[in-house]
Amino acid sequence: MSLQQDLEKRSGNHCEICAAKENLSIYEVKPVSTGGFDGSILACDTCIKQIEGDEELNANHWRCLNDAMWSEFTPVKVVVWRMLHRLKDEGWPTELLGTMYMEDAELTYAKETGDHLAENEKIIHRDANGAVLQAGDSVVLIKDLKVKGSSMIAKQGTAVRRISLDHENAMYIEGKVGPTQIVIVTDYVKKMVDKV
């Protein structure tokens, strides 16, 4: 079965957020580390456009979160949690957040993008050229780096894909070099730009 078919089966052919039946497509929940079944939801165009910020948030549309928050599937819960945080000025989302239950790993995943923070609270990670880094981006090392605690040296020009961000320090990111997960100082990386 394809991912689309798996998600249709999981959701009963409904948007996993608002239960709409029309214009459904796969939405990969950022940062896309796994994608696939455990990193995607089936969602309608309306939900996707508002999640992505392509359309202004319609608070009444998101009343559906009251039901969606009880989903047993992690990517659905992550999107619900993020949207409740974006809407918390409305009042009612704060109450829902107080009753929502998430495992520690799910909460870490939900916080990964920093969407839940107010603009003045967000830590901005920048590469050596000042480009903003996002969780899930790919970077290239711009100098050889000794990996602490090992004899390994990460060579200049090495690509590090699907980075994660340190939410307490703008100078640090994490990523895999070969099989090893390492912490990298942002001054020593350059963001890779996808060619269209």
Q: Are residues 106 and 140 in the same domain?
A: no
Sorting pLDDT into bands at 50, 70 and 90, what band is 34? low
Q: Are residues 66 and 146 in the same domain?
A: no
Q: Are residues 146 and 185 in the same domain?
A: yes
Mean pLDDT of 7-26: 95
Interior angle at CA 9, CA 7 and CA 13, nearest 5? 80
Q: Are residues 131 and 104 in the same domain?
A: no
Q: What is the mean pLDDT of the chain?
A: 88
Please report the pLDDT score of residue 195 as a whole number: 55
Q: What percentage of the chain exceeds 90 in pLDDT?
A: 53
**Domain hosting residue 151, numbered range:** 123-191
pTM metric for this prediction: 0.64
Total domains present in the chain: 2
Mean pLDDT of 1-24: 93
Sorting pLDDT into bands at 50, 70 and 90, what band is 150? confident
Give which of 112, 105, 104, 110 is closest to 136, Cα–Cα. 112
Is 118 part of a structural domain of the chain? no
Q: Are residues 8 and 64 in the same domain?
A: yes
Please report the pLDDT score of residue 164 as a whole number: 86
Please report the pLDDT score of residue 196 as a whole number: 44
Q: Are residues 105 and 127 in the same domain?
A: no
Give which of 40, 120, 96 is closest to 73, Cα–Cα. 40
Q: What are phi and psi of 26, to 5 degrees?
A: -75, 135
pLDDT at 19 over 90: yes
Sorting pLDDT into bands at 50, 70 and 90, what band is 112? confident
Q: Are residues 145 and 97 in the same domain?
A: no
Is 18 part of a structural domain of the chain? yes
Is 103 part of a structural domain of the chain? yes
Higher pLDDT: 186 or 167? It is: 186
